[in-house]
Amino acid sequence: MADLAVKGRSRQKAAPSPWKQKKRKPSKPGSGVASLNGKWAYVFIAPFIAMFLIFGLFPVVFSTQLAFYKYDPLSLEQTWSWVGLDNFKDILADETFWISLGNTFEIWALSTFPQMIMAIGFAAILRSRFLRGKTFWRTILLVPNITSVIAVAIIFGQLFGRDFGMINTAIGFFGLEHIDFIENSFASHVAVATMITWRWVGYNSLIFLASMLAIPDELYESASLDGAGAWKQFTNVTLPGLKNTITFVLIVGTIGGLQVYAEPLTLAGDNGGGSSHQLSTLTMYLYNESFINARYGYGATIGILITIIVLIISLINFVVTRRVASEDK
């Protein structure tokens, strides 16, 4: 009996040690926990997809369709009326469209290129190891960007006032005639470009600064050992390292420049852009035709043309940048 008891005890399995736990096999994609996690992922991204479909994709599709119709939501007889390409033909024959297009590009050129030069200069100063209080100066540069557009336009509207503006007061101090920064076409564009430059130069400076800080210090040390001064280092090391950033700033500046609205509207005081449309931009023209004249199909066509212009300019910037980069290799 004793032998049978010993054999029985030997056949019993030993209790598992608390220190030795079995490893769990990874769950298969279609099983249990992984399947549940996948379902929760769809739940979490569903709000973004819904918002994109409602406020992103639907307006684009609706506006594209609207461009080929004469749309009058208040009409009791026929809300939708097919016109085909008539809206595009009417826009190309409209003198106001070409004036607004010229004004938009002139304001874009007067603001983008000086702004880029100033931003690169400020970024180079902020990168200097001799500058004290770098965080303070970076914060100060970003303050104009977070200031209300309307507040900026009102203040600069007072500065550029014809009779009592500070700019004209300074001009009169030197015995020169006052400049009408509203009725004079080029002067009004300079005023709007100044507002845009003041508001965005600090933001772009920080973008260029981040790109400059990514350039290895060894390149500057090598250039210094080769006898290159500060200007040579800037032109041969810094600027080549900023090519991609310059392209990015140009594309973003082009998109923003074609959407200028608040600054010229506040300066002109009316949505028509002045007595001879000297301050009318493409966005003001779109708003005026869509919501003032209730030509919704016409306004949608203007929006499509603005998109096409942005795509063309972005493509040109991309091609030029790639060509320059390939020549340097």
Q: Is residue 20 part of a domain?
A: no
Residue 109's CATH number: 1.10.3720.10
Last residue of a domain, one of 48, 82, 116: 82
What is d(CA 237, CA 328) in angstroms, rounded to the nearest whole number?
A: 13
Query: What is the tens place of the pLDDT at every residue in 91-113?
Result: 989 898 999 999 999 999 999 99
DSSP 218-263: HHHHHHHHTT--HHHHIIIIIHHHTHHHHHHHHHHHHHHHTT--HH
Last residue of a domain, one of 26, 57, 82: 82
pLDDT of residue 118: 93
* Bigger pLDDT: 33 vs 307: 307
Q: Is residue 165 part of a domain?
A: yes
Q: What does the block give as tokens for 173?
A: 């101090």
Alpha carbon of 270 to those of 124, 183, 273, 285: distances in Å? Answer: 40, 13, 6, 12
Are 77 and 220 in the same domain? no
pLDDT of residue 37: 64
Are 268 and 294 in the same domain? yes
Q: Is residue 12 part of a domain?
A: no
Q: What does the block give as tokens for 302?
A: 């203007």
Are 142 and 273 in the same domain? yes
What is d(CA 241, CA 220) in angstroms, rounded to the nearest whole number?
A: 12
Are 272 and 284 in the same domain? yes
Last residue of a domain, one of 54, 82, 110: 82
Are 104 and 206 in the same domain? yes
Are 175 and 302 in the same domain? yes
pLDDT of residue 6: 47
Exposure string over 196-225, b if 16+ CB within 10 A, otherwise e: bbbbbbbbbbbbbbebbeeeeeeebeebee
Query: What is the tens place of the pLDDT at every residue in 45-90?
Result: 889 999 999 988 898 898 888 889 888 777 666 678 888 888 899 8
User: What is the tally of structural domains in the chain?
Assistant: 2
Q: Is residue 179 part of a domain?
A: yes
Are 43 and 92 in the same domain? no
Query: pLDDT band for position 203 (50/70/90)?
Result: very high
Are 132 and 66 in the same domain? no
Q: Does the global pTM surpass 0.85? A: no
Question: Which residue range is the domain that position 48 belongs to?
Answer: 38-82
Are 102 and 189 in the same domain? yes
- By C-alpha distance, which of 254, 135, 274 is closest to 196? 254
Q: What does the block give as tokens for 170?
A: 């300074």
Q: Is residue 29 part of a domain?
A: no
Are 228 and 304 in the same domain? yes
Q: Is residue 48 part of a domain?
A: yes
Q: Is residue 168 part of a domain?
A: yes
Q: What is the mean pLDDT of the chain?
A: 82
Are 146 and 272 in the same domain? yes
What is d(CA 192, CA 45) in angstroms, rounded to the nearest whole number?
A: 41
Q: Is residue 69 part of a domain?
A: yes
Are 70 and 178 in the same domain? no
